[in-house]
A and B are shown apart, each in its own frame.
Chain A
């Protein structure tokens, strides 16, 4: 019991003193001399054609909107890159599920999918695609298109 008490106190001390402010964190991901490849998006062979929404787990089944067979988009585990946005594919281009499936809400694409057209609503620019809408945005040093409700 005595040993347990000492260990407990020790751990409390350990916790107390090892909590660093990490104030230098911004020296690293944040302006760490600039870090790529978030220069505007793009990497070759760096992952799936689209990045799924945070709430959707790997191996997402996309929603079917036609009589075509359902399509399973296998989503590789996201690349963990500290303080770096998820990579997006510039070439060979996204694996677009257009024509037979709807990507999950929140999915992002580096390029506008074929067949989408500009359809502003309430002063916000959206693109209307086949059964879903995409919103162009800028973040993580790249332009991208996010699938949004509606």
Chain B
């Protein structure tokens, strides 16, 4: 009898600890400051905010082709520990189901990332090097392959996926509408705040066209809490993209190399 009571007490103890921990894991964003108590009736995730996000991502995922430009401003700490902002620009072109090309330039070397449906290329015009690898044949898989194989990502890579809504809302703990702005992207935008366990920020979505015009994210998993802000412009959906854009022939005179994470063992 005594051992039974011990067992029951242990189970209760287990349940109490577990409930507390589950609460921490799902609602309070461990990397972020603890969320203050919200007023009664106020939801951490507003359905109307998700509706706007869904409208944006539906528009992007239904597009057969997509072109846009991005200006990226990223903070990275100097050796002094001070945040320094770096700016780059990118021209992105995507042709569903299996092609994308991203040309990046700005503060730092230029580069180009091309997925032509079969192979992945990363090209440096300054160094005249091109990394080449066989690659899975869908945009989603190619983007993941690029990240896994070489830590490669690029502006807008979260927007070109087949289901960007699922991607953007996974792990979401907070989402609400701030209001409207007429100062971003030259159009009127809805401003939405979003937060997850390791990332929080805002996104500006066009009121009329449901396209993203700006996004700004803070990375909570990094002690320096760096912010990256992306401004999107010159959107073109469902327009014809010259096939030459996805032709890797222009890299033919570059020295061929391989993809490898800097800390990965070489074969």
Binding site for B on A (CB under 8 A): 2, 5-7, 9-14, 16-18, 20, 22-47, 51, 54, 76, 79-87, 90, 108, 112, 118, 124-125, 135-144, 146, 148
Contact = CB atoms under 8 A, between A and B. Distances in A.
15 contacts: A10-B14, A24-B196, A27-B170, A27-B196, A33-B215, A36-B74, A37-B107, A38-B153, A47-B79, A90-B109, A137-B262, A140-B150, A140-B151, A141-B154, A143-B124
B258 A137 contact: yes
Contact of B151 (A32, A34, A139): A139
Contact of B259 (A33, A46, A139): A139
Given A9-B11, A36-B76, A51-B262, 11 more contacts: A7-B13, A24-B197, A27-B198, A30-B144, A32-B199, A32-B219, A34-B70, A36-B228, A39-B74, A40-B109, A137-B131
B228 A33 contact: yes
A60 to B, nearest CB: 16
A56 B126 CA distance: 30
A32 B124 CA distance: 24
Interface string B67-107: 00010111111111000101010100000000000001011
B262 A146 contact: yes
Interface stretch (B15-23, B41-49, B57-65): B15-23
Given A37-B76, A41-B109, A31 B122 contact: no
Interface of B: 6, 9-11, 13-18, 20-22, 24-25, 70, 72-80, 84, 86, 88, 90, 104, 106-111, 122, 124, 127, 129, 131, 143-144, 147, 150-158, 161, 167-168, 170-172, 196-199, 201, 215, 217, 219, 221-223, 226, 228, 230, 255-264, 266
A9 B6 CA distance: 11
A135 B266 contact: yes
Given A27-B196, A27-B199, A40-B109, A76 B228 contact: no
Contact of B222 (A10, A81, A148): A81
A148 B266 CA distance: 9
B10 A42 contact: no
A3 to B, nearest CB: 10
Contact of A27 (B84, B108, B144, B167): B167
Nearest to B267: A124
A39 B106 contact: yes
A48 B80 CA distance: 13
A13 B17 contact: yes
B18 A14 contact: yes
Contact of B72 (A6, A34, A84): A34
Contacts of B256: 125
Given A6-B10, A33-B158, A28 B153 contact: no
